[in-house]
Amino acid sequence: MKKKLMAAVLAGAMLLSATACSAKETATEADTSSVIQNETETTTSGETYKIAMVTDSGDITDQSFNQTTYEACKAFAEANGVDFNYYKPDSDSDEARIAAVDQACAEGYNIIVLPGYLFGATLREESPAYPDVKFIALDMSEADLRGDQTDVDLSEVYNVENTYCAIYQEELPGYMAGYAAVKMGYKHLGFLGGMSVPAVIRYGFGYVQGANAAAVELGIEDEVTVEYAYGGQFYGDADITAAMDTWYSTNGVEVVFACGGGIYTSAAEAAAKVGGKVIGVDSDQAPVIDAYAEGMTITSAMKGLAPTVNTLLSAIVLEDTWADYVGKIDNLGLVSENPEENYVQLPLESTQWCDTFTQDDYKALVASMVAGDITVDNNIETMPETAITVNDLGNIK
């Protein structure tokens, strides 16, 4: 799928009207802060849209999936005169997420954006219940959608006629981050994953492959080591911080790719004590990680959540091309030699470019990946074979 440019704002204000979802009897309270009260945009087809986003286990200040999705939805709504609201479930459970979608639909929101694989059960329940609502699910794979329903046709699991899903080729930005770290001069690397779910594994295995490729190019494969572990959760705590203290202070790890929601806090707390470095994930996490120490974040391995949101909301609200996307589970990655046009990338502004890894070097790397001269294995079953040393330490907890 190619990225589409957001269409210009349609002229003229339209009368506000609510398009109700199909009736569903139960609706539970959710956090409905930050409603944008705009005049509602009507498409050329005459349909009026209202956009809602539901957070997963995090919130809109997580500097990751939820915040990036929220900001993209909010910006689109403000630019195009569309009502927007976000809903925070009252607990981290399928029941609470389903209740939040129920409330959004009861209040007339007919485009629902769901960021994260935790919404698999929600889509199985809600997409058939609200056939007139358009669901956009980010980071949602077929396995996430199916749950334990593995032996039936996918159309029997959820409503393919009102849902679009996107997953991302995490191994690609993981590769870029590992390659960049070694090219920048770091030789003792760490990977701290959250839980060993497919997306995190792809990030980690890509990271190892990128570090290995850079080390081989530089002829220093005997000098590069990666410590590799999962925290067993998507947030930092005292136990994980203690493990990171050992990595940085005792083992001499220089930079850790902290990959999994809020688990970066443990890496950042430990790094701050010894002047260590951190690599962010999903979005540009430099603003939040650098709060622990200025210049701590050398780069971030990012997914194009905002471009995906813009493309799909434009298709529905502005272009009337939803039919081109509905029912698909797109696997998004590289679509252009221009890094900023891709669904996976490093941030141009906050990456710590240097003489040994410049923006031009990064652009050349992306061009080689797009051309197929560099390929990255997306296997998640076994650790990639490498010339560098990888110490697979399993789970911290």
Reported in sequence order, the residue ranges of 100-217 that DSSP labels E, i.e. its strands, are 111-115, 134-138, 163-168, 188-193
Convert the pLDDT of each residue in 340-361 to its tens digit. Answer: 889 999 999 999 999 999 999 9
**Has residue 43 been placed in a domain?**
no
My answer on whether 70 and 156 are in the same domain is yes
My answer on whether 266 and 375 are in the same domain is yes
My answer on whether 123 and 188 are in the same domain is no
Token readout for 219 is 């002829």
**Has residue 22 been placed in a domain?**
no
Per residue, the 3-state secondary structure of 191-252, as one string, reads EEECCCCHHHHHHHHHHHHHHHHHHHHHCCHHHCEEEEEECCCCECCHHHHHHHHHHHHHCC
Please report, for the domain that includes residue 184, its CATH number. Answer: 3.40.50.2300
**Has residue 337 been placed in a domain?**
no
How many domains is the chain partitioned into structurally?
2
DSSP label of 22: P
Q: Which residues, 6+ apart, have CB-to-CB distance to 365 below 8 Å?
A: 176, 179, 374
Reported in sequence order, the residue ranges of 89-206 that DSSP labels E, i.e. its strands, are 111-115, 134-138, 163-168, 188-193
Q: Measured between alpha carbons, how far is 280 from 259 in angstroms, rounded to an integer? A: 7
Q: Measured between alpha carbons, how far is 46 from 40 in angstroms, rounded to an integer? A: 12
**Has residue 381 been placed in a domain?**
yes
Q: Measured between alpha carbons, how far is 48 from 43 in angstroms, rounded to an integer? A: 7
**Has residue 279 been placed in a domain?**
yes
Q: Measured between alpha carbons, how far is 205 from 209 in angstroms, rounded to an integer? A: 6
- Per-residue pLDDT 10s for the chain (397 aa) are 433 333 333 333 333 333 334 444 333 344 444 454 444 455 545 689 999 999 998 888 877 788 889 999 999 999 999 999 999 999 999 999 999 999 999 999 999 999 999 999 999 999 999 999 999 999 999 999 999 999 999 999 999 999 999 999 999 999 999 999 999 999 999 999 999 989 999 999 999 999 999 999 999 999 999 999 999 998 999 999 999 999 999 999 999 999 988 899 999 999 999 999 999 999 899 999 999 999 999 999 999 888 899 999 999 999 999 999 999 999 999 999 999 889 999 999 999 999 999 999 999 999 999 999 999 999 999 999 999 999 999 999 9
My answer on whether 268 and 365 are in the same domain is yes
Token readout for 119 is 């919404």
My answer on whether 193 and 242 are in the same domain is yes
My answer on whether 282 and 254 are in the same domain is yes
Asked if 189 and 256 touch (Cβ cutoff 8 Å), the reply is yes
Virtual torsion, Cα 23, 28, 30, 34, nearest 10 deg: 40
**Has residue 99 been placed in a domain?**
yes
My answer on whether 203 and 267 are in the same domain is yes
**Has residue 126 been placed in a domain?**
yes
pLDDT given for residue 46 in this prediction: 64
My answer on whether 229 and 367 are in the same domain is yes
pLDDT given for residue 45 in this prediction: 55
Virtual torsion, Cα 262, 265, 359, 182, nearest 10 deg: -110
My answer on whether 356 and 323 are in the same domain is no
Asked if 333 and 168 touch (Cβ cutoff 8 Å), the reply is yes
pLDDT given for residue 32 in this prediction: 43
My answer on whether 241 and 386 are in the same domain is yes
Convert the pLDDT of each residue in 257-286 to its tens digit. Answer: 999 888 999 999 999 999 999 999 998 999
Could you report how far apart the first and last alpha carbons of the chain are, in Å? 39
For residue 385, the tally of other CB atoms under 10 A from its CB is 10
Q: Report the DSSP beta bridge partners of residue 168.
A: 332
**Has residue 338 been placed in a domain?**
no
Asked if 200 and 194 touch (Cβ cutoff 8 Å), the reply is yes
The domain in which residue 96 lies consists of 50-168+305-332
My answer on whether 276 and 362 are in the same domain is yes
My answer on whether 75 and 139 are in the same domain is yes
